[in-house]
A and B are shown apart, each in its own frame.
Chain A
């Protein structure tokens, strides 16, 4: 009987102590958990990173189970359970912990991917793909650990897993690089949707979307360029900042090719020059006062207008040549006014009897005009930024067309740029500044530089 009682007393102790350890463990770990969570939640609210709040939310319930499992593990350690039961029980507890940890990791990964995916404006397909890949990785790791817990051989499984992992990495190498680059771009926040960027490789425009793997650049509202995020991260990128005010109508850049048309008329002295010029069409006047600007933009100093050059070089009348060279085409608003001014200077000279010379045979002044073909270009500007960036790369003939031709050839009040700035962007002040700018005083390249400076200053 006493043996029986003694056995019962020992058994009671063996049961009570682990139970007490378990209950104490539960109480202690839950208390510690509560303190830890309270502090972590306060800290998480202070930080900008929303990932910590997701982490706390996901582990809040699981952590209760982890407290129970830890307590059970301690109880098992102090218990007198025979060794042959103790190890499987311990493995069982680890297995439960692993399952709980796996579920938490899956939930955490899914929530983080969705969170960042939405921030990066990733497509649902990309989010689903990322979820699947991450889940697969978590499952594989969990299975490997589980096998290790239960003492199964994992070398072969590990090798196969590594092989497949390598294959996947190789196949999706670019995607993965771009994915990581997308995360980096998001983290460093150097560029964002709405910024106007220019890559060293030439792509430029407003960023319309930053995806997981690519960044979309809207090129002048006409086309979209998809730049892989990895390229964006590797390239030198100039970021000009946020979108500027949109124009009501875009500025469409045109180019001009011209063909020289011969009139057949020629002058060998000033009298003939004046007489033919009086009756010449405006296109002839325009040609002889502007052709050198476009055809010989590389001469510095550039030659004067054709009348001045002929009078100086062929007739040898430098004084009159100087007067003709100084005729200000910028102040004279129409070709007719320009013609009248040139004719009046020549006639004044003739009436003073200062010029009787004739050109040598073959040195006559030949009256010509040009036929302009106006060609569309790929460029279109919707705001000042696009306008400025296009100006940098515009051909000289296009610049010539928009600056010189509107007033004297197409009958407009001023240059095309000023008209657009005032009418479509309400930038009257800037429009006036450009309208008052005298392009006849500079080469076309210098004109371009000065316009760029003006626009840069205005945008700043």
Chain B
């Protein structure tokens, strides 16, 4: 995609603003580092963000750290623990994490003027700050509102060595000596996952998965993960179905850094087996058109996460002007302004009640959906994300509340 392609969606002024900010970053190299080139929200964001920054004239590059299976099992454990799950971080886990981190610290070429480190896996690279200087930003994409203390304390000494830390929701921040910023992730309105689709394509995908269009369709799109609570969604759906006829689609894939997905999928399959109204679809990575079509085919989109970094699937649904029922966790309340752009819930019963409200009041549901689309247009598209990142880089140079550019 080219930057000009977004002009029709966000307006000429927004694109000009991006070009102006980019000029101020001329000559700086931004080095992004994370743990994978594929799978998961971070890789998806970077794969779109880096080329657009380059088109703007910002020298943005992207590298990944190396790690074996044991390392990624530890980081997954850390990930869950930071989300607040009760995980035992053993001395051996710490040792595996530190050893692989040390290897990456020694092996990875760090050439950026601004080091932009994503998520906990490469967090220890900041050890090199003393040696090479530069500006360092840690971008935390996960929900650390109630982290497991052991996991957070393991990371904290590194966190404090960064010049700035970026979170996706206000609830993730705590008083720190490091400057903290709030930058929401974003969706790309022109990607396969979010672009407009002809009705024929939507119908073909729905038909391919054997989903009859005879009833309202409740859809949750998420990878199969305990934190996305697919079991809770089925329970809420069954409460709704007592009084309102409808179907449920649970669709998602797996990420390369998440060994737990298969186990969750199997549990969900067991729970839904024999129920013709529940469709559990394991969709391979890269099936973006299919995900898009399922979201567009939905009557209501649900995101009943127990924990959420941000929950980009909510923005995806809102962008398609779908009425959304979502848990008030992580970054979701930023996207779903309760009763303005969707309905927030706090449990299984609340989710069921909200779904019933929307099924019974289609005009209200439509109004929420339209509001949601505008909310995403202003706050959660990739162009806003680009602007925030460039402003963030500039704040490293101008540490004031008002910067004249």
Q: Report A's interface with B, CB cutoff 8 A.
A: 255, 257-266, 283, 295-299, 303, 313, 360-364, 366, 368-376, 395, 409-410
Contacts and interface: CB of A to CB of B under 8 A. Distances in A.
A257 B386 CA distance: 12
B350 to A, nearest CB: 12
Nearest to A405: B402
A360 B345 CA distance: 13
A368 B176 CA distance: 14
B395 interface: yes
B337 interface: yes
Report which residue of A283, A295, A296 has the largest number of chain B beta carbons within 10 angstroms of its beta carbon: A296
Interface string B365-378: 00000010011001
Contacts of B340: 296, 299, 303
Nearest to A294: B378
B38 interface: no
Given A298-B374, A303-B340, A395-B13, 10 more contacts: A258-B391, A259-B392, A266-B170, A296-B378, A298-B378, A299-B371, A372-B402, A375-B21, A395-B11, A409-B402
Interface in B368-405: 371, 374-375, 378-379, 387-388, 391-392, 394-395, 400-405
Contact of A262 (B145, B146, B181): B181
Given A295-B378, A299-B340, A362-B329, A262 B173 contact: yes
A264 B174 contact: yes
B375 A362 contact: no
Nearest to A292: B337
A258 B378 CA distance: 13
A362 B145 contact: yes
Contacts of A370: 401
Contacts of A369: 401
A366 to B, nearest CB: 3
A374 B182 contact: no
Contact of B395 (A298, A363, A364, A371): A371
B220 to A, nearest CB: 20
A258 B403 CA distance: 10
Nearest to A286: B401
B341 to A, nearest CB: 9
B interface, by DSSP: helix, strand, loop or mixed? Answer: mixed
Contact of B176 (A264, A366, A373, A409): A264
Interface string B297-328: 00000000000000000000000000000001
A290 B96 CA distance: 48
A292 to B, nearest CB: 10
Nearest to A282: B401
Contacts of B378: 295-298
Interface size class of B (residues with CB under 8 A): 35 or more
Contacts of B387: 257
B149 interface: no
A391 to B, nearest CB: 14
Contact of A295 (B170, B180, B379, B395): B379
A299 B375 CA distance: 9
B401 A298 contact: no
17 contacts: A257-B21, A257-B391, A260-B183, A261-B182, A264-B174, A266-B170, A297-B378, A299-B340, A313-B338, A361-B146, A362-B145, A362-B171, A363-B328, A368-B170, A371-B395, A373-B394, A373-B405
Nearest to A373: B403
Contact of B175 (A258, A265, A374): A265
Contacts of A303: 337, 340
A409 to B, nearest CB: 7
Contacts of B329: 362
B196 interface: no
B267 interface: no
A266 B175 CA distance: 9
Contact of B17 (A257, A263, A299, A362): A257
B179 A261 contact: yes
B180 A262 contact: yes
A374 B405 contact: yes
Contacts of A362: 145-146, 171, 328-329
3 interchain residue pairs of minimum CB distance: A366-B170, A264-B175, A262-B173
A334 B268 CA distance: 57
A255 to B, nearest CB: 7
Contacts of A395: 11, 13
A283 B402 CA distance: 10
A262 B183 CA distance: 10
A259 B395 contact: yes
A174 to B, nearest CB: 29
Report which residue of B182, B375, B394 has the largest number of chain A beta carbons within 10 angstroms of its beta carbon: B182
A265 B21 CA distance: 30
Contacts of A259: 181, 183, 388, 391-392, 395
Nearest to A300: B371
